Amino acid sequence: MKIEMGILNHIWIRRASLYILIPSLSFLAIFFYTPFIIVLLYSIGVIGRDGVINLTPTFNYFIEALNPLYLRVILNSLYLAALTTISCLVIAYPAAYYIALKTSYRLRSLLIVAVVLPYWISFLLRTYALMTILSSLNMLFTYQAVIIGMIYDYLPFMILPLYVNLEKLDKSLLEASYTLGASPIKTFFKVTLPLSIQGIVAGCILVFVPATGEFIVPYMLGGISVTTIGTLTWDLFLKFHNWWRGAALSIIYIFIVLAILIIYVKKVGGVEL
């Protein structure tokens, strides 16, 4: 009897778990998978001109999206994202190190709030404010303005994972290093930095992936002087009404992101910070 009740309880728990998943799976199906499938169908020409269904897929739009002009845009987006990621890492690591290892609990909490506080304000309002500052410095609509804007927007995405990783660092390892005669610099490079590599990788992923497809910052701060995957896709869809080539470019971007994430999982192994 007890065995039967245990089996029934196990079945009920499994069914309840499935029922709990229904809302989230429905949300993903409606707002993620369905749009993705539609974009994919456009990219391979199944949805043709005037909405005509073409049962013979074609990869011509991908070939068009990989012409030298678009390849330069893709490489420019990757370069811009890499530059943003490196800059964020250089700025964020000392800040996260200080917050995690050199402050009291109360001050630490205040500093974390200070990091995320500007992001309680609308993204557009923050970008408009940055436009005003850069305009007064005669830097608006330049490559440098886009880099500054992207660093400003993505810096917390680098600071927070680094802080979480460093805050969980075993302080006894640092003390042991000092006891054995290692200098603070040697302790940092031999102990702290290797143990924080997962936080570095996680922060780089959180910055690099969205920065590659960034649209708002290049559009508002770079104007026509800076073209990225995001701005080019916007133009193809809404300015030139070339949904097929725009869809192909979007799929290419998705595969770039997937490749980056696969490399991350293989290198880090998906281990929690």
Q: Specify whether 225 is located in the same domain as 114.
A: yes
Q: Residues 247-265: what's their mean pLDDT?
A: 88
Q: 204 and 85 in contact (C-beta within 8 Å)?
A: yes
Q: Could you tell me if 16 and 112 lie in one domain?
A: no
Please tell me whether residues 35 and 95 are part of one structural domain: no
Domain interval for residue 88: 64-268
| CA atoms of 198 and 190, how far apart (whole Å) | 15
pLDDT averaged over the chain? Answer: 87
Tell me, what's the pLDDT at 17?
Answer: 67
Per residue in 12-51, pLDDT (tens digit) is: 566 666 778 788 889 988 988 999 999 999 999 888 777 7
Q: What distance in Å separates the CA atoms of residue 234 and residue 242, rounded to the nearest whole number? A: 10
DSSP state of 216: H
Q: Is the pLDDT of residue 84 over 50?
A: yes
Q: Would you state the structure tokens that stand for residue 86, as one six-digit string?
A: 């490196």
* CA angle (179, 181, 182) in 5-degree steps: 105
If asked whether residues 230 and 253 sit together in one domain, one would say yes
140 and 35 co-located in one domain: no
Residues 9 and 85 in one domain: no
Query: Could you read off the pLDDT of 103-148 as tens digits, one per residue?
Result: 988 899 999 999 999 888 888 889 999 999 999 999 999 999 999 9
